[in-house]
Amino acid sequence: MQEESPPADDLTRALESEPPIDAELSIDPAAARALAAGRIGDPFSILGPHPVREGIVVRAYVPPAQAVELIGADGTVLANLQPLPPPGLFAGRLAASTGYRLRIHWPGGVLQEVEDPYAFGLLLGELDIYLLAEGNHLELGRCLGAQPMSIGGVDGVRFAVWAPNALRVSVVGDFNGWDGRRHAMRKRVEAGVWELFVPRLPIGSVYKYEILGAHGLLPLKADPVALQSEAAPRTASVVADPAPFQWSDARWLERRARDGALVHAPLSIYEVHAGSWRRVAEPGWRALNWHELGDQLIPYVTGLGFTHLELLPVMGHPFSGSWGYQVLSQYAPQPMLGDPPAFARFVDRCHDAGLGVILDWVPGHFPTDAHGLAHFDGTALYEHADPRGGFHQEWNTAIYNLGRREVHAFLISSALHWLERYHVDGLRVDAVASLLYRDYARREGEWIPNQYGGRENLEAIDFLRHLNDAVNKRCPGALMIAEESTAWPGVTQATRDWGLGFSYKWNMGWMHDTLRYMQHDPVHRSYAHHDMTFGLLYAFSERFVLPLSHDEVVHGKGSLIGRMPGDTWQRFANLRAYFAFMWTHPGKKLLFMGGEIAQDWEWNHEAEVDWAALEHPLHAGMQRLIGDLNRVYREAAALHVFDSDGMGFRWLMADDSSHSVYAFCRFGRDDTPPVIAVCNFTPVPRLHYRVGVPRAGNWREILNTDAHIYGGSNMGNAGWVHAATTPLHGQAFSLELTLPPLATVLLRFGG
C-alpha cells in the first residue's frame, strides 16, 4: 500500500527550516510538496541525472530509504547522495556524465543495487508514437503493456499505457511496496501514452497502474494490454515471458492459407466451455488445465470427427459466471487454465491432431469492475461518456466507444494478437447485433440516433469492416464468424462490395424455427410444417453456420433432449432425426458440448458434462450417431461443397405436412454423387413411401438414425434401393422407401 504522505504543514516547516545544502541539488518547495503527495506529472524533470554548471546532479526519490549512494560498474562509490526534503529524496553530484547505479539502504539492513529508472531516455520509437497518436496501431501487444527487454545492456521491463487525461501514472507492485510515488512514468504528450523502464524487474512480477485523475486517485488499474494476469480473486497483471513459443504447425498454417475460408470444405464445430467440459475429482472440483485438455479434449473431439473446436472466451475475465463474455484482459489467456505458453501449446497440439481452433471474442462491451477499463484515467476513455451509448442495460456493462480511433485500434489489435501470437484459426465475434444497432435493447428516448437520424451504428460498421480487412490481409485463411441475430444485409459479403466482410454468420433464425418445430408433439407438427422449410428461403443469402450453441441449453431452456416430446425412446429418436436433418441441411455445423451425448440437464458452468450418462445405451448411441454424421458429412462432398450455394440443394418434397415428411437432395460438383435426406418427424412408420429422385439406378442407404447401433428400432431399407422410372415430385425417377418412425434416412447415389 502507498505510504501516507507527511501533512502539508509539517512538510512546509521542514522545507523552510532545512538549510540549503547545495542550490543545484535542492528542488523548489512546491515541487517537493507535489513529489511527497504523489502529484508530480513529469518526474523526469526532477529525478535522474541533470547537467548543471559543474557536472551532473542526480536525484532519486525512494521512500523510505535511509541512504543512497551512486556506484560505478566495479562497485566503487561515485557519490554519497544527501537527504533532502521531502523524506525519501536524495541528491548528489557527479563530476562528469558517467554510468551509475543506485545503492539503496533500506530499513532493516536491506541493501539493493539497481540502475536508475530515470536515467533512461525516451522509450517508444517515433513510428509507434505516430501510430498511437493516429489511433491506427494494430500491434499494441508488443508496444504497450509490460515488455521485458534490454536497454543499454540493462535487463528490465518497459511499461507503457494509454491514459491521455491522467495527471500522473505510476507502475506499482511488490517491487516498490505498491507505492505510487516510486515509479511515476513519463508522459509522451503527443500520443497520451505514459512510459517507464524499470531495471532488473524479473519476469513474473505482478503490477498495476496507479493513476491520478482530475478528481483524485483512482483504484489501482490492471494493464489493459497485459499479456498475462493473475488468477481470480486476484486482479493484478503479470510480466509475461517474452520468449517465443516453438511452434510445429507451419504446414497447418500453409494449408489454412491455401484453403481459405473453407467455403467448399466441411466445417463441423464442437463448442466448448473449457472450464466445465470435464473436472478433476480433487478438493475444489477444479477444471482441467490446458495440458490436461490437450490430453483428453483433443482426442475426444477428433474421434467424433469434428473439424474445429470453438472455445467460449478464454480471455481473462473476473467473473466465471459470465462464461467469459465479460472480458477485462483482451490480450491475456484466462490464468485459471494455465499460463500463456500452456495455451499456445494446446493450440499447437490441436493443429498437430488436424483440429482447428476458434475463439469467441467480445468487442461489444466490458464489465465495469473498478480495476478494469471503466473510467480508466478518470474519464470515459474506452467507453462512451453518455450512458445512452455507453452503458449496456441488458448486461450491466460498459460499451466500447468505437468512434474513438484508439479504442477501435485497441480491439482490432486484440483480434490480431490472438490470431498471430497464438495461431488460432478464427474468431467468432460475439453479439454483433448489439454493435450494429444504436437502439439495441433500448426503448424510445434511451438511445442516440446517428448523424443521419438513423438507428445504425456507423462507427461499429466501420470498425467491423476494418477488422475483417485487417484479418484477411494479415492472417490468410483465418475464419471470422459473426453471431448476428438480425436480417442485417451483407454480413458475409466482401467489404469491397459494401458488406461487413465476415467469413460466416450464425443462422439464428434457422435454429429458433427448427427447435420450435421439434418441441411440438408430432400430432401437432403438421401445423408448423413451414418452420422446417422457411430457412431455405434465405439459406444462400449469406454463408451460414447452423448453431446449436450454449445459449440454447441455459437459463431454464433445458437440454436439447429435454425439449424433445414423447417418452424416453421417442425423445431420443426425435433428437437423432433432428441432428441428421441439421447435418444434411445447407450450412456449416456447430454443436455445444453435452449435446452429442444427449445430456439430460441444461449446462452448468460450475459442473461438467454428464459423462456418466454414456453408461446408458441411448446416450452412447447418440454419441456414435454424431461421430457417424461427421464422417458422412466429411466424406460425402455433396453435403458440404455447396453449403452456401443454391445449386447444391433441391427440395424433393417440402409440402407433405399431413405426414410431417421432408425430402431433399444435396449436390456437389458434376463428378460427385448426390445425397438424399428423407425425414419422418412422426412416430408412425411409413411403408412403401415414394419419393422422386433425379437419377436412375441404385441408391445406397448410408445412414439411418433408426439403426439399432444408435438406439433405434432398426427399421430401414436393407442397405439399397433401386430408382424406378416412375416420375414424381418433378423428378424423372422415384424411390419406394421404408421410413422408420421419428427418423432421418440418408441415401447416396451409386453407393
pLDDT, tens only, 724-746: 999 999 999 999 999 999 999 99
pLDDT in tens, 617-647: 999 999 999 999 999 999 999 999 999 999 9
The three cell numbers of residue 14 are 521542514
Q: pTM score, two decimals? A: 0.94
pLDDT at 12 over 80: no
CB 448 within 8 A of CB 438: yes
pLDDT in tens, 423-446: 999 999 999 999 999 999 999 989
pLDDT in tens, 442-460: 999 899 999 999 999 999 9
Residue 138: CA count within 13 A, CB half-sphere: 16
Q: Residue 178: which pLDDT band, with cuts at 50, 70 and 90?
A: very high
Quick one: fold of 8-119? Immunoglobulin-like (2.60.40)
- Exactly one of 195, 430, 602, 706 is catalytic; which is it? 430
* Predicted local confidence at residue 562, as pLDDT: 96
* Predicted local confidence at residue 63, as pLDDT: 95
Q: Residue 16: which pLDDT band, with cuts at 50, 70 and 90?
A: low
Closest CA to 561 of 628, 623, 494, 481: 623
| C-alpha span between 739 and 523 (Å, rounded) | 17
CB 166 within 8 A of CB 229: no
CB 261 within 8 A of CB 477: yes
- Exactly one of 271, 310, 425, 483 is catalytic; which is it? 483
Q: Which residues contact 563 (CB under 8 A, 6 or more apart)?
A: 515, 518, 519, 557
Q: Residue 200: which pLDDT band, with cuts at 50, 70 and 90?
A: very high
Q: Residue 3: which pLDDT band, with cuts at 50, 70 and 90?
A: very low
Helices (H) and strands (E) in the chain, counts: 14, 37
Q: What are the beta bridge partners of residue 591?
A: 270, 548
* Residue 483 annotated as catalytic: yes
Residue ranges of E strands in 385-461:
391-392, 397-399, 426-429
Question: Which of the two residues, 168 and 96, has the higher pLDDT score?
Answer: 168
Beta carbons within 10 angstroms of residue 16's beta carbon: 9
| C-alpha span between 549 and 547 (Å, rounded) | 5
| C-alpha span between 29 and 528 (Å, rounded) | 82
* Predicted local confidence at residue 574, as pLDDT: 98
CB 262 within 8 A of CB 543: no
| C-alpha span between 231 and 222 (Å, rounded) | 13
* Predicted local confidence at residue 54, as pLDDT: 85
Sheet of strand 101-106, all strands in order from the earlier edge strand to the far edge: 77-80, 67-71, 101-106, 110-114
* Predicted local confidence at residue 9, as pLDDT: 56
* Predicted local confidence at residue 10, as pLDDT: 52
pLDDT at 132 over 60: yes
Q: Which CATH superfamily is domain 250-438+445-481+498-503 in?
A: Glycosidases (3.20.20.80)
For range 331-344, the mean pLDDT: 96
Q: Is 332 helix (H, G, I), strand (E, B) or coil?
A: strand
Radius of gyration of the chain (CA): 32
* Residue 430 annotated as catalytic: yes
| C-alpha span between 510 and 582 (Å, rounded) | 10
User: In the predicted model, what is the mean pLDDT of the chain?
Assistant: 94
* Predicted local confidence at residue 219, as pLDDT: 97
Quick one: fold of 126-238? Immunoglobulin-like (2.60.40)
In this structure, what is the dihedral angle of CA atoms 597, 602, 605, 609, given to the nearest 10 degrees? Answer: -20
Closest CA to 523 of 570, 488, 463, 482: 570
Task: Give the position of cell 451483407.
Answer: 490
Question: Which of the two residues, 612 and 14, has the higher pLDDT score?
Answer: 612
250-438+445-481+498-503 and 646-749: same fold?
no
For range 692-699, the mean pLDDT: 95
Tell me the CATH class for 646-749.
mainly beta
Closest CA to 249 of 61, 422, 507, 438: 422
CB 436 within 8 A of CB 378: no
* Predicted local confidence at residue 20, as pLDDT: 54
Q: Residue 2: which pLDDT band, with cuts at 50, 70 and 90?
A: very low
Report domain extents, the chain: 8-119, 126-238, 250-438+445-481+498-503, 646-749
pLDDT in tens, 563-579: 999 999 999 999 999 99
* Predicted local confidence at residue 95, as pLDDT: 86
CB 206 within 8 A of CB 237: yes
For the four alpha carbons of 212, 213, 219 and 225, in that order, the dihedral sign comes to negative
